[in-house]
Amino acid sequence: MEIKVLGAGCAKCKTTAAQITSIASQLGVDVTVTKVEDMAVIVSHGIMSTPGVLIDGKLVHVGSVPDRAQIEAWLSAA
Amino acid sequence: MSAETSHPVLPARPDWQWHLGVVAFLVVWWLVYQQLIPFSEWVTALFPIDRHSHTGEAIAFFFYDVPKVMMLLTLIVFAMGVVRTWFSPEKTRALLSGKREGVGNVMSAGLGILTPFCSCSAVPLFIGFVSAGVPLGVTFSFLIAAPMVNEVALVLLFGLVGWQVAVTYLAFGLGIAIVAGFVIGKLRLEGWLQDWVRDIHSGANTPVVGEDEPLTMINRYALGIEAVREIFGKVWIWIILGIGMGALIHGYVPEDLMVRIMGAEAWWSVPAAVVMGVPMYTNAAGVIPIVEALLGKGAALGTVLAFMMSVIALSLPEMIILRQVLTLRLIAVFVGVVASGILAVGFLFNLIF
């Protein structure tokens, strides 16, 4: 599954990407996590508070670092 | 398209236990708060120095102010964290879109205080507002009020300087945000946005992130606790450094020096304070203890407030972020208008008080 973390240069965005990567590897789920910093792309998803999380092109989360339970739910839904 | 917000998970317990917990916390908070002066005197007495020497004064100041500010911050940040759960950038945008200038600027500045905002999201928020038909000037009112009038600044002013100054800061901070946004709106500078932003604007193709599922009161408490943790992680070091600096000034800096440099008689002190404040970038926590100590040593209130407002509201890093969406000309106008407002407040205060 393809996960994109949208947000430019905020500490929460880095944390979010790192969390997802580490939880995915713990669970043994095969994901590619990429960070999107292009502002035009970020705003085109209607995001007003970063980070935003896209899973396979669908916006699932905005505005905060998602908690562990939430990340696990996304990963197990794949 | 819909997005789910994260609801921080608290251990499962009956709701009444959480409500009771909040009440118990408030009671304990109040009891401890009453004991701060005896506590600071007790700590100061542990040091082998004269209580009335410079060092003694500085130590007493430090050990009274640090716990006081920390406690006030905990309470207010928690309360604001809970209140903010009823607001979101999306709701604020819906309230502001299509609002006329004037009314829009007033609402926008007010919502700037209540809406959760992080300066790292300034650009997407700016575009989100403008593309949804929030007038440019109204958007600026929000962007000026949100960082300037924040609970950390207000708590610190209240705790260290007094409630009159905190209320005045609130009123004038809002005033500047409203007037500056109104002026920028009147100048009709929409053409000075970066090209790609204008395209999004005219395209109006921005999908709307849907309503979140309703939060329970317990979720809101959890978000409040989260806010306390986050803010403390960011500002505790600044509070200790700032109050430490303040304590030194309190104990050692001669009074007439500050009166000469920052007193009301020196007319140039207000512009100098603003010019010095712009490149400085720190949060309210770092600057206010210094502000308090300066005031105590005879610096004029208007000068000090102008300094503080320019440090918090006009910062180079934020301008660099905004450079992505605003042309340099527009940034210059923005800085010019806000700085003029701050100057006016500074002079006015020195005149009145």
Q: Tokens 């997802």 sit at which residue?
A: A20
**How much is the pLDDT for B281?**
65
Distance from CA of A41 to the nearest CA of B (A): 10
Phi, psi of A11 (to 5 degrees): -60, -35
Q: A46–B116: do the CB atoms touch at under 8 Å?
A: no
Percent of chain B with pLDDT over 90: 25
Chain B residues with CB inside 8 Å of A62's CB? 3, 5, 209
Strand, coil or helix: what is B336? Answer: helix
**Domain interval for residue A38:** 2-76
Higher pLDDT, B208 or B249: B249
- Read off the pLDDT band of B204 (50, 70, 90): very low
Candidates B181, B188, B182, B154; CA nearest to B168 is: B154
Least confident of B6-20, B72-86, B216-230: B6-20
Q: Write the pLDDT tens digit of every residue in B130-188.
A: 888 899 999 999 999 988 888 888 888 888 888 888 898 899 999 999 999 999 999 98
The overall pTM is greater than 0.90: no
* Nearest-angstrom CA–CA distance, A53 and A50: 9
Distance from CA of A43 to the nearest CA of B (A): 6
Q: A58 in contact with B at a CB cutoff of 8 Å?
A: yes
Number of domains in chain A: 1
Mean pLDDT across B225-244 = 85
Tally of residues, chain A: 78
Q: A48 in contact with B at a CB cutoff of 8 Å?
A: yes
Tell me which residue in B89, B118, B127 faces A43 most closely, judged by beta carbons: B127
Q: Write the pLDDT tens digit of every residue in B95-108.
A: 998 888 889 999 99
**How much is the pLDDT for B2?**
40
Q: Is the bond preceding A51 in cis, omega lying within 30 degrees of 0?
A: yes
Q: A8–B120: do the CB atoms touch at under 8 Å?
A: yes
* CATH code of A27's domain: 3.40.30.10
Strand, coil or helix: what is B293? Answer: helix
**Helices (H), ranges, B97-162:** 103-114, 122-131, 136-148, 151-160
Phi, psi of B194 (to 5 degrees): -65, 150
Chain B residues with CB inside 8 Å of A48's CB? 89-90, 93, 121, 124-125, 128-129, 209
Distance from CA of A29 to the nearest CA of B (A): 21
Q: A64 in contact with B at a CB cutoff of 8 Å?
A: yes
Mean pLDDT across B244-262 = 72
Q: A48–B118: do the CB atoms touch at under 8 Å?
A: no
**How much is the pLDDT for B263?**
67
**How much is the pLDDT for B23?**
93
Q: B128–A12: do the CB atoms touch at under 8 Å?
A: no
- C-alpha distances (whole Å) from B137 to each of B67, B171, B188, B311 are 40, 19, 8, 22
Q: Write the pLDDT tens digit of every residue in B259-301.
A: 666 666 677 888 888 887 777 766 677 777 777 777 777 788 8
Q: Write the pLDDT tens digit of every residue in B294-326.
A: 777 778 888 888 888 888 888 777 788 888 888
* Nearest-angstrom CA–CA distance, B279 and B270: 16
Q: Write the pLDDT tens digit of every residue in B60-90.
A: 888 988 899 899 999 999 999 999 989 988 8
